[in-house]
Amino acid sequence: MKNFAALRVLDRFSGMLTRSGYDYPALRIILQAKLTMDRRRPSGLLSTFGGRKKAEENPNRNAFFSSLWVYALVSVFTLPLLVITPETPLFGMSLVFSMQMFLLSALLMSDFSAVMLDTRDLAILGSKPVPSGTRGLAKLLHIAIYLFWIVSTLTLLPLIAVLFVHGPLGFLIYLVEILLMTALLVSMTAGAYYLVLRFWDGEKLKDMINYVQIILATVMAVGYQVAIRLIDFSLLEQSFQTRWWWVLVPPVWFAAPFELLTGRESGGLYGIVLLALIVPLLALFIYIRMLPAFERQVQKLAQKDGESKLPVRYGRKHKRDGMPSRAGAHGQGQKQVQVQKQVQEKRSKGALPSGSADEVHSQKRGLQVRWKRRPLHVWLGDRLLHDPLERGLVQFAGTIFSREREFKLKVYPGLVFSVIFPILALTPALQNEGFRLSGLSPALGMTLYGAGLCVPMLLAMISFSNRYKAAWIFHTAPDLQENKLHRAAVTAALLKLFLPLYSVMVIMFLIVFKFGFLPHLAAITFALMIYTVIGYRVFPRSLPFSKPYPTGNSGTGNGYVFLLMFILSVIAGVHLLVYSLAGADWIWVYAAILAIINYFVWKHGFIGENRRKPQ
């Protein structure tokens, strides 16, 4: 194993650790093994932006350290807020600390969570004569190493800028506040983990971490576009009066000392500065005291999926060890007696079929459960597709989309971008019109075609799954045609993932452009549906959910994605050309033509060479 730089630094303190009662040789081996195993763990950002492949091709390359340049690049965007108006630093520094706290907390829950929640050593070290204190210190040092790299990468450039803007005293204050901010965020992150594990199982925490990774990847992709339009830089030139609600905003706590450096003193500012000092230390103290209880909850992650502590829905009592509780059994008994009486009365009148009361009750209850739990995409699929096999495949594909964490991480940021892009494209026009909706041209509604930017990513990712080896079922299913399988998977992706976001955008565009936009809306909707089938024909076809997820962005067909983006721009250009030459009245005719084409495209576009059973 590699002799890491952190281990060489730790060797200088070996004597002190040995005198303190720690088994230093065991401590060093444990920490070295943890750092070596971390080489195989890709960063959350690398999984999204494609650096994971390079880390796998070079076994001596640490995926975590390969992603640090992304964090350093993000910290560059905080530098203008430090140097624009150093005379009134409260607002600028509050924005800086807000950005840093958001990014650091997201990183703690995405990349750093694999270190804080590491349970890989429990099965090995738990049966070995290694003191518990040595195991605990190894984990704390493992956490400290990653904290050092994450925090230093995010704050090194701003720290240098503060030295030039606010002088050596400001540099020292900022350095201390970085440590306090880190202590506060680590304690809050651990507290959030503890609460989730206290009331739910480890799978719920994994889902939460997955959603944080999605949010982080989304912010990295589109956050700067939104921030530039939302920040009013004229506020940087204003001085602020102390407000009571500042005590509820931690970034203001850490920005207050820099306001004191300018000579503006008040009792409220001193109180806020005390909060920046006391609250992080108190949170860290509570975290240290709760560390044993936290470790006991973390052990849940080493267990297999278990039952949730929440009661089962639809009136069923929570079961423990496979047996219903006494209250649940008593309630079920009373309900069964009532059902039997109702069944006997209705059967005597001929209102119910023959059969036992248990069978009738089970049928009624089963129908109610299926109706209540019926997802929207399944309900729509039953009405759009006539083949029962395709209906079942739509439900199956929707379930896969809901459960695949890596699928969500790769697809959801693109979905969010496809929603934000049309809105950002409309923003300059709205600003020029003074946000008067009546002055906007319907031609600006062509930006709604931007919703189709997510379609290539959806089509590219349908072929992948964590359980790709189970795709053998497609080869053994009788009378299963490949065209039906593809059509059902694409339909499920559109109905479950694309349709909800597109519906929100449609409502927003109708609010902006009024009901005169309806013909354009119909044409755009049918055009995007045709565009989806075109995308399916462009991508190399393989069975849905039959391949492992690619490393980074490799294997997702970036060249095909760019080709489809060009095709989408051509489709939007044709729509705009028809509108400019023939006027709004002929858009209805154009939409009707697209509807007819759409029918034949969806009926025959998935057949071609796929008329046979999958080979």
Q: For the segment 31-65, what is each residue's pLDDT rounded down to a tens digit? A: 888 888 766 555 555 454 444 444 445 555 566 66
Residues 511 and 389 in one domain: yes
Residues 540-548, mean pLDDT to the nearest whole number: 83
Maximum mean pLDDT: which of 76-80, 153-157, 381-385, 416-420: 153-157
Q: What pLDDT shows up at residue 529?
A: 94
Mean pLDDT of the chain: 75
Is pLDDT of 344 > 70? no
Q: For the segment 277-336, what is each residue's pLDDT rounded down to a tens digit? A: 999 999 988 988 887 787 777 776 665 444 434 433 333 344 444 444 444 444 445 555
Is pLDDT of 532 > 90? yes
Q: For the segment 164-174, what is each residue's pLDDT rounded down to a tens digit? A: 888 899 899 99
Point out which residues pair with 324 in neighbouring strands. 319
Residue 364 domain-assigned? no
Helix (H) / strand (E) element for 334: namely helix 326-348
The structure tokens listed for 399 are 């379930």
Residues 420 and 503 in one domain: yes
Residues 195-199, mean pLDDT to the nearest whole number: 79
Is pLDDT of 371 > 80? no
Residues 434 and 571 in one domain: yes
Residue 398 in contact with residue 493, Cβ under 8 Å? no
Residue after which a domain boundary falls, among 307, 334, 350:
307
Residues 302 and 190 in one domain: yes
Maximum mean pLDDT: which of 192-201, 263-272, 284-293: 284-293
Q: What pLDDT shows up at residue 230?
A: 55
Q: What pLDDT shows up at residue 58?
A: 53
Is pLDDT of 390 > 70? yes
Residues 166 and 303 in one domain: yes
Q: CA 220, CA 222: separation in Å to the nearest integer?
A: 6
Residue after which a domain boundary falls, among 291, 307, 323:
307
Residue 64 domain-assigned? yes
Residue 502 in contact with residue 451, Cβ under 8 Å? yes
Q: What pLDDT shows up at residue 417?
A: 79
Q: Domain of 382?
A: 376-605
Residue 13 domain-assigned? yes
Q: What pLDDT shows up at residue 5?
A: 81
Is pLDDT of 527 > 90? yes
Q: CA 38, CA 113: separation in Å to the nearest integer?
A: 12
Q: What pLDDT shows up at residue 558?
A: 67
Residue 188 domain-assigned? yes
What is this structure's pTM?
0.63
Residue after which a domain boundary falls, among 278, 307, 336:
307
Residues 150 and 262 in one domain: yes
* Higher pLDDT among residues 355 and 541, named by residue: 541
Number of domains in the chain: 2
Q: What pLDDT shows up at residue 191?
A: 83
Residues 301 and 444 in one domain: no
Residues 398 and 294 in one domain: no
Residue 505 in contact with residue 451, Cβ under 8 Å? yes
Q: What pLDDT shows up at residue 42?
A: 54
Q: Work out the end-to-end distance of the chain between its first and last CA atoms, rounded to an integer number of angstroms.
A: 45
Q: What pLDDT shows up at residue 345?
A: 63
Residue 338 domain-assigned? no
Q: What pLDDT shows up at residue 239?
A: 52
Residues 435 and 574 in one domain: yes
Residue 302 in contact with residue 126, Cβ under 8 Å? no
CA atoms within 13 A on the CB side of 456: 19
Q: What pLDDT shows up at residue 433?
A: 60
Residues 272 and 171 in one domain: yes
Residue 313 domain-assigned? no
Q: For the segment 78-115, what is each residue's pLDDT rounded down to a tens digit? A: 787 777 666 667 777 888 888 888 888 777 776 666 66
Is pLDDT of 522 > 60? yes
Maximum mean pLDDT: which of 128-137, 427-436, 466-475, 526-535: 526-535
User: Following CA atoms 465, 471, 477, 481 in sequence, which dihedral angle do they give, to the nearest 10 degrees?
Assistant: 70
Q: What pLDDT shows up at residue 311?
A: 37
- Using 50, 70 and 90 to split pLDDT, how confident is the model at 597? very high
Q: What pLDDT shows up at residue 51?
A: 47
Is pLDDT of 593 > 90? yes
- 563-567 contacts at long range (C-beta below 8 A, 24 or more positions apart): 563/538, 564/455, 564/456, 564/531, 564/534, 564/535, 564/538, 565/453, 565/456, 567/531, 567/534, 567/535, 567/538
Q: What pLDDT shows up at residue 316?
A: 38
Query: What count of residues does the chain have?
Result: 615
Residues 507 and 392 in one domain: yes
Is pLDDT of 525 > 70? yes
* Higher pLDDT among residues 423 and 55, named by residue: 423
Q: Which residue's entry shows tokens 């290539």?
A: 456
Residue 320 domain-assigned? no
Q: What pLDDT shows up at residue 468?
A: 82
- Using 50, 70 and 90 to split pLDDT, how confident is the model at 570? very high
Q: At what angle do helices 482-493 and 388-403 cross, to 10 degrees?
A: 50
- Burial class of 247 by CB neighbour count within 10 A (0 to 12, 13 to 18, 19+): middle
- Using 50, 70 and 90 to split pLDDT, how confident is the model at 524? very high
The beta-strand segments (E) located in 405-470 are none
Residues 577 and 449 in one domain: yes
Residue 612 domain-assigned? no
